[in-house]
Amino acid sequence: MFFASDNGGPANPEILAALTRANEGYAMGYGADAIMDEVRAQLREIFEAPLASIHLVATGTTANSLALATLTNPWETIFCSPTAHIHEDECNAPEFYTGGAKLTLAGTEDKMTPDALRAAIEGEETRGVHGPQRGPVSITQVTERGQVHSLEELNALTAVAREYGLNTHLDGARFANALAALGCTPAEMTWKAGIDAVSFGGTKNGCMGVEAVIFFDPAHAWEFELRRKRGGHLFSKHRYLSAQMQAYLADDLWTRNATSANAACARLAAGLRDLPGVSFDFEPQANIIFLHMPRATHQRLQAAGAVYYIMAGDVTSGDPDEPLPARLVCDWSVTDATIDRFIETAIG
Amino acid sequence: MFFASDNGGPANPEILAALTRANEGYAMGYGADAIMDEVRAQLREIFEAPLASIHLVATGTTANSLALATLTNPWETIFCSPTAHIHEDECNAPEFYTGGAKLTLAGTEDKMTPDALRAAIEGEETRGVHGPQRGPVSITQVTERGQVHSLEELNALTAVAREYGLNTHLDGARFANALAALGCTPAEMTWKAGIDAVSFGGTKNGCMGVEAVIFFDPAHAWEFELRRKRGGHLFSKHRYLSAQMQAYLADDLWTRNATSANAACARLAAGLRDLPGVSFDFEPQANIIFLHMPRATHQRLQAAGAVYYIMAGDVTSGDPDEPLPARLVCDWSVTDATIDRFIETAIG
Amino acid sequence: MFFASDNGGPANPEILAALTRANEGYAMGYGADAIMDEVRAQLREIFEAPLASIHLVATGTTANSLALATLTNPWETIFCSPTAHIHEDECNAPEFYTGGAKLTLAGTEDKMTPDALRAAIEGEETRGVHGPQRGPVSITQVTERGQVHSLEELNALTAVAREYGLNTHLDGARFANALAALGCTPAEMTWKAGIDAVSFGGTKNGCMGVEAVIFFDPAHAWEFELRRKRGGHLFSKHRYLSAQMQAYLADDLWTRNATSANAACARLAAGLRDLPGVSFDFEPQANIIFLHMPRATHQRLQAAGAVYYIMAGDVTSGDPDEPLPARLVCDWSVTDATIDRFIETAIG
Amino acid sequence: MFFASDNGGPANPEILAALTRANEGYAMGYGADAIMDEVRAQLREIFEAPLASIHLVATGTTANSLALATLTNPWETIFCSPTAHIHEDECNAPEFYTGGAKLTLAGTEDKMTPDALRAAIEGEETRGVHGPQRGPVSITQVTERGQVHSLEELNALTAVAREYGLNTHLDGARFANALAALGCTPAEMTWKAGIDAVSFGGTKNGCMGVEAVIFFDPAHAWEFELRRKRGGHLFSKHRYLSAQMQAYLADDLWTRNATSANAACARLAAGLRDLPGVSFDFEPQANIIFLHMPRATHQRLQAAGAVYYIMAGDVTSGDPDEPLPARLVCDWSVTDATIDRFIETAIG
């Protein structure tokens, strides 16, 4: 019963099979492998963006940092949500890669709103050279609290950015989960919605470690390539990144995985929703649940070996009815049986 | 007939098998996986260094940059050979990770000598705060020209560093090839020879993409962990790095691979050595040959589909007897048959 | 009638006279001048800190950035008020000098409170290497809104910092104004209150351009010297910085200037306080007033040539009674006559 | 008898008088002072460059670092002479301000030659993203060894840069001394010779501390302004920088000073040239002499209180005839009497 993170489960067997296939014979290094040509073609087709520049890296922090560094001058500030991964979970990687840009938090909630974004931009009055200059807007989709921006919401955010002449970046570590939730096309969730650059996640959704960075304006390509090399993120044996992404995109593996994970999360949410003392902090929309459950419920789950993050409080002692906050994440691999066992254990 | 690089060949089947084994069930991320505990134990035993701090990253540039950044202040200069990978082939990654440190080139030859190192250190008179301050010494073993420092040479270099109170780093992207060439122990080639930190390569010697960074003084561990995370180099699904390194170290795979590559290189060198018009720029000591061959020889090899780097000159036209420089690299997977075919083609 | 900033007025004649005196003959450069020895002795005596390390730079941004960079690792976050100069008015200089550290805003008000600081620190749960690590606390005294922390308030803030093992920095661009307001000793307002490093301002209080950075722990001295040189902030003809600071400290010029400026501000506040439609945003405590005045009042003042910042709104047209926010700053040189004329004009 | 540096002498009385004049009344800060308008007009006229962007900073390291950072991407390398100030005497400031660019040394002599520059550029084969990318060429005029590039030499160097599409920067810390030596116009020595950006020194030639940065392409202006602010180099009381530069340029003070210094140096060189045991390391061309003098000569000079740098060796004991290297620098203020006394002392 592992719900700690969607980086804890296994990779799809298809991914491993692809590595094995890619392991035949010799290949040119550093992105000049033939499989990467396929990946470029796949993503351009999927995104309906024949000119997009496509790059692979191994981690999500890297995808975000390099994409943002390419769009940000060091004297600028990046607008993001207060719960954005780039703000809370990357140990200052965006600040490092941009050479010292700032992050300005738009709003107090998980999901950035146009009003909060506008207020944040206006709050960063630059007053000539004195204040930080306004830089790109980074939107997280799925958010860190499991929320999905609707296409209307995305369009409204990018409209504010455009009004101020700012670029936009989508942190899509859970891109596929958002897409499955919205039932739209990749183009609709990105460039048709005004997004300039995307971190397109693979790692959390069934790969071993691969993310694509996509710029819809190919003018950014060469600078990104240099930044990736200089950051140590250009793989000599690049074919093993290519192979993962190739298999991830082939036969809809990526959307199948995300659909499974979202469905698992919905089943879990349905089973927990009406339990006494259980309340959801956010309405689950993809594969993540933030909820409160009574201490006694946590104790039963922990005793049964369930693995997940309890966000605050001492689970071992105290009022058994006191609700303690927790996060539950479903990956592609979790089974209905596991979910049902978790729910039964929670019911007690 | 692929001799372009030791990053062009396949990974060992054992590495793939290890990934498959590691892909069972759930695992904690970010280096907290159980396989990483094994890797730490393996490397501490192999290096006879029970307190060493051990960290995995995916690329050699990363291993070097993060190791050096941990040992270097931004106002210092790193002493290295003019042909060092950190100087010539990392697009300023060491400068980036150190926050703007300089590299000072010691000597004009491939292999750093104690005299050249001393002259370089003395040349960087710091004159109070004015000049760059003296930072660590980075030694490449195997060098970029295929040379191997003897233990005496290593000890002599670190003695100079120690005299000035400078730390020492070993770029061991081809650590195993050097070890196989010297026939010594890992401890003898590192801490017993005065080395403080090692980039211990796996990628070029049969892995897909994994390098260990080893500090013999564990006081550096936490800073390195923070630098790795901030650089985007901490893998969430870390077990796939651990599994590669675990398999690489198990059953002597790493030394077997290196021994094979070195033997292949020796066979290749022996076959080419006495051909008319062929001369070696450096005496091959590990798995790399720098040589000159007549244009006509190159033309025969290229026509037969041999892949390797011609370092200068136009191979397609000109005096057939004119010698053109080239680099030939053997990896673990090259067969005697391939080498013999290369030699036969060269003979014509 | 110039109330735009305390960087708009002339320097004291004593400062100019000191430059003239210092301009005799030859002097060693880069801080090795004899006048700097005097400055060190003066500041150590004034601060009752015989071991303090003392350094001069020319601007306040530099003093803050270099002091903070010396106390902060790039993967850390600096805690400061949301209105701190380092956050709002230095175009990411602290982020630049620290190599990419973050700033975490403590509270929503101008003056940092212990509760807000504690909440901010607790909010930066580091979760291992994932979040920004906790760095120093920077307190602005006088604040950007003209408020002065009492000694009790300062002690309470540093107590929180100490509880978490964090260093503390005082941005004292208006150090003398705060000291004059509190009537305490420099030691009481700094190291006796738990402060580790001080930006001790001269520029805004009658100098041309000089600030001292003081570390009470001299272990920071050498790193600061290197950072200053590397930042281009070490003056070759350093005696002209030394001479300014020497004259500023001699004969209590610094406290006389601050007392004058504070008295002028009090006179101005008293004259404006009870005017119809006038309200103070903050109770003036040093030499800065933030207030609202009716548009008509602004119009009279602007017509009479008064120079100051109107913080929002269109002064030229609209309801004459509508209050518009403004900032008024008094420097050492403003005369009672000017203040009275300003008040009379405001009265109309 | 002070010949240690041209940063050791007094400023011209005109500079002090200008500060006193500038110290009247109130002025807008941060470069918006009226005197700065004058400075812009002066420099544009002097350089025959009506569109040039003009910026003031207080130190030469700053001028060089900010100018180069504006022209250099972090993944590039700057080409300069091995004795360039930016390489030897700025404690990695260029590396810091560029965010980690490299410096590539062109040649082994003091004065960069076109052949050495071409060889250095060719040596930095970029091989795609792997090597450092080629960045600007920085030429020092007067060189650190007192040599002056002729207009032909400058044009030949910039022609090589242009051939590779590289920008060019002139480190003119001693711009006026070079101009006086060549007897040409500022335009001829800069944009007419293919120079894109100039560090135009005032500090070493009679000012207290002011340097202008001039870009002939005004497209660089805004980025420079942001970099200056972010570096802490924008003076709030900017009028005191403006006033120095205004007075420096008025009434040809700058060229008078340089002519005096060069003449003093010529007189000194003439007096020392034929002394027994004296040899010049470089033929003096501006205001700096590098020479060898017998130990006994040094001993007499030191005993008489002469101040200058002995570059190597122990002056106090050893063979009295052994020549020891030294540097002698003449500033604008040194008198004929002082020079003659130095020569007489040297003669003994």
Dihedral, CA of residue C43, residue C48, residue C53 and residue C56, to nearest 10: -20
CA-based radius of gyration for chain B? 21
CB contact under 8 A, C91 and D204: no
Over residues B18-68, the pLDDT tens digits come to 999 999 999 999 999 999 999 999 999 999 999 999 999 999 999 999 999
For residue B49, the cross-strand partners are none
C79: distance to nearest CA of chain D, Å? 19
Q: Give the distance from CA C31 to its chain's centroid.
A: 24
CB contact under 8 A, B130 and C229: yes
**Residue reference for tokens 């954005």:** A84
Closest CA to B79 of B158, B17, B146, B134: B134
Share of residues in chain D with pLDDT > 70 (%)? 100
A334 phi and psi, to 5 degrees?
-75, 140
Contacts of D233 in chain C (CB under 8 A): 59, 62, 232-233
C102 pLDDT tier (thresholds 50, 70, 90): very high
Beginning with the edge strand found earlier in the chain, give each strand of the sheet holding A323-329 in spatial order: A279-280, A288-294, A323-329, A309-310
Assigned token pair, C172: 């004292």
Closest CA to C174 of C196, C147, C134: C147
Task: Give me the pLDDT at residue A108, please.
Answer: 81
Over residues A174-216, the pLDDT tens digits come to 999 999 999 999 999 999 999 999 999 999 999 999 999 999 9
Contacts of B74 in chain C (CB under 8 A): 99, 230
* Between D126 and D51, residue with greater pLDDT: D51
All structural domains of chain D with their residue ranges: 14-252, 254-347
Mean pLDDT of C201-215: 98
A186: distance to nearest CA of chain C, Å? 30
Assigned token pair, A139: 């939107």
CB contact under 8 A, B75 and C234: no
Chain C residues with at least one Cβ partner in A under 8 Å: 74-77, 88-92, 95-96, 98-103, 127, 129-133
Task: Give me the pLDDT at residue A107, please.
Answer: 84
Q: Is D59 helix (H, G, I), strand (E, B) or coil?
A: coil
Strand runs (DSSP E) across D246-337, as ranges?
279-280, 288-294, 309-310, 323-329
User: From the list A92, A98, A133, which residue is nearest C101 (CB)?
Assistant: A92
Contacts of C61 in chain D (CB under 8 A): 229, 232, 234
Task: Give me the pLDDT at residue D294, please.
Answer: 98
CB contact under 8 A, D96 and B100: yes
DSSP string, A76-133: EEEEE-TT-HHHHSSTTHHHHHHTS-EEEE--SSSS--HHHHHHHHHHS--TTTTSPE
Share of residues in chain B with pLDDT > 70 (%)? 100
Neighbours of B122 (CB within 10 A): 10
Task: Give me the pLDDT at residue B107, please.
Answer: 84
D328 conformational bin, left if phi > 0, alpha if psi -120 to 50, beta if neither: beta
- Residues 6 or more apart in contact with residue B162 via CB below 8 angstroms: B194
A118 phi and psi, to 5 degrees?
-60, -40
Q: Which chains touch A (3 or more CB pairs under 8 A)?
A: B, C, D
Assigned token pair, A13: 């067997």
Over residues C107-122, the pLDDT tens digits come to 888 999 999 999 999 9
Residue range C254-347 in CATH 3.40.50.2300: no
CB C53 within 8 A of CB D190: no
Gap between the terminal Cα atoms of chain A? 15
Q: What is the enclosing helix (H) or strand (E) of A169? A: strand A168-172
CB B154 within 8 A of CB B161: no
| pLDDT greater than 80 at residue D126 | no
Cis peptide before B142 (omega within 30 of 0): yes
A110 phi and psi, to 5 degrees?
-65, -45
Assigned token pair, D301: 């000079």
Of how many residues is chain B composed? 348
Q: What is the mean pLDDT of chain B?
A: 97
Mean pLDDT of A252-271: 98
Over residues C37-85, the pLDDT tens digits come to 999 999 999 999 999 999 999 999 999 999 999 999 999 999 999 999 9
Task: Give me the pLDDT at residue C122, please.
Answer: 93
Beginning with the edge strand found earlier in the chain, give each strand of the sheet holding D309-310 in spatial order: D279-280, D288-294, D323-329, D309-310
User: From the list A73, A129, A226, which residue is nearest D133 (CB)?
Assistant: A226
Task: Give me the pLDDT at residue C126, please.
Answer: 76
Q: What is the enclosing helix (H) or strand (E) of D154? A: helix D151-163
Cα angle: D205, vertex D209, D212; to 5 degrees: 80
CB B100 within 8 A of CB B74: yes
- Residues 6 or more apart in contact with residue C161 via CB below 8 angstroms: C79, C117, C136, C137, C167, C168, C194
User: From the list A23, A29, A93, which residue is nearest B16 (CB)?
Assistant: A23
Task: Give me the pLDDT at residue B108, please.
Answer: 81
Closest CA to B33 of B47, B45, B21, B44: B21
CA distance D75 to C25: 45
Closest CA to D269 of D312, D223, D328: D328
Mean pLDDT of C188-199: 98
Nearest CA in chain D to A130: D229
Over residues B265-286, the pLDDT tens digits come to 999 999 999 899 999 999 999 9
DSSP string, D217-261: SGGGHHHHHHHHHHTT---TTTHHHHHHHHHHHGGGHHHHHHHHH
CB contact under 8 A, A130 and D229: yes
Assigned token pair, A265: 């999360």
A307 DSSP 8-state letter: B
A183 DSSP 8-state letter: T
CA distance D233 to D54: 14
Closest CA to A118 of A185, A175, A163: A163
**Architecture, CATH, for domain B14-252:** 3-Layer(aba) Sandwich (3.40)
User: From the list B7, B61, B204, which residue is nearest A232 (CB)?
Assistant: B61
Nearest CA in chain A to B203: A237
Nearest CA in chain D to A96: D99
Assigned token pair, A343: 């729910």
Contacts of D226 in chain A (CB under 8 A): 73, 75, 129, 133
SS3 annotation, chain C: CECCCCCCCCCCHHHHHHHHHHCCCCCCCCCCCHHHHHHHHHHHHHCCCCCCEEEEECCHHHHHHHHHHHHCCCCEEEEECCCCHHHHCCCCHHHHHHCCCEEEECCCCCCCCHHHHHHHHHHCCCCCCCCCEEEEEEEECCCCCCCCCCHHHHHHHHHHHHHCCCCEEEEECCHHHHHHHHCCCHHHHCHHHCCCEEEEECHHHCCCCCEEEEECCHHHHHHHHHHHHHCCCCCCCCHHHHHHHHHHHHHHHHHHHHHHHHHHHHHHHHHHHCCCCCEECCCCCCCEEEEEEEHHHHHHHHHCCCECEECCCCCCCCCCCCEEEEEEECCCCCCHHHHHHHHHHHHC
Neighbours of D208 (CB within 10 A): 27
CB contact under 8 A, A7 and B29: yes
Q: Which amino acid is at C204?
A: K
User: From the list D100, D130, D234, which residue is nearest A229 (CB)?
Assistant: D130
Q: Which amino acid is at B304?
A: A
CB D282 within 8 A of CB D326: no
Over residues C123-154, the pLDDT tens digits come to 877 789 999 999 999 999 999 999 999 999 99
CB contact under 8 A, C131 and A91: yes
Share of residues in chain A with pLDDT > 70 (%)? 100
CB contact under 8 A, C30 and B128: yes
Closest CA to B85 of B140, B6, B8, B3: B140
Q: Which chains touch D (3 or more CB pairs under 8 A)?
A: A, B, C
SS3 annotation, B167-196: CEEEEECCHHHHHHHHCCCHHHHCHHHCCC
Helices and strands (H, E) in chain D, number of each type = 14, 11
A226: distance to nearest CA of chain D, Å? 6
CA distance A276 to A282: 17
Over residues D167-184, the pLDDT tens digits come to 999 999 999 999 999 999
Cα angle: B120, vertex B126, B128; to 5 degrees: 170
| pLDDT greater than 80 at residue B124 | no
CA distance A253 to A14: 8
Contacts of C77 in chain A (CB under 8 A): 92
Q: Is B8 helix (H, G, I), strand (E, B) or coil?
A: coil
Q: What is the mean pLDDT of chain A?
A: 97
Over residues C232-269, the pLDDT tens digits come to 999 999 999 999 999 999 999 999 999 999 999 999 99
Neighbours of B213 (CB within 10 A): 24
Interface test with D, best of A57, A66, A75, A223 (most D CBs within 10 A): A75
CB contact under 8 A, D229 and C11: no
Task: Give me the pLDDT at residue D127, please.
Answer: 84
Closest CA to D197 of D215, D211, D179, D185: D215
Closest CA to C216 of C86, C44, C17: C44
C311 phi and psi, to 5 degrees?
-80, -20
Over residues D190-246, the pLDDT tens digits come to 999 999 999 999 999 999 999 999 999 999 999 999 999 999 999 999 999 999 999
Helices and strands (H, E) in chain A, number of each type = 14, 11
Task: Give me the pLDDT at residue D125, please.
Answer: 74
CA distance D243 to A243: 65
A288-294 and A323-329 strand pairing:
antiparallel
- Residues 6 or more apart in contact with residue D240 via CB below 8 angstroms: C11, C208, C209, D19, D22
A262: distance to nearest CA of chain B, Å? 18
Closest CA to A9 of A200, A147, A143, A203: A203
B12 DSSP 8-state letter: P
Interface test with D, best of C23, C90, C203 (most D CBs within 10 A): C23
Q: What is the mean pLDDT of chain C?
A: 97
Cα angle: D31, vertex D33, D36; to 5 degrees: 70
CB B207 within 8 A of CB B248: yes
> Is the pTM above the cut of 0.80?
yes
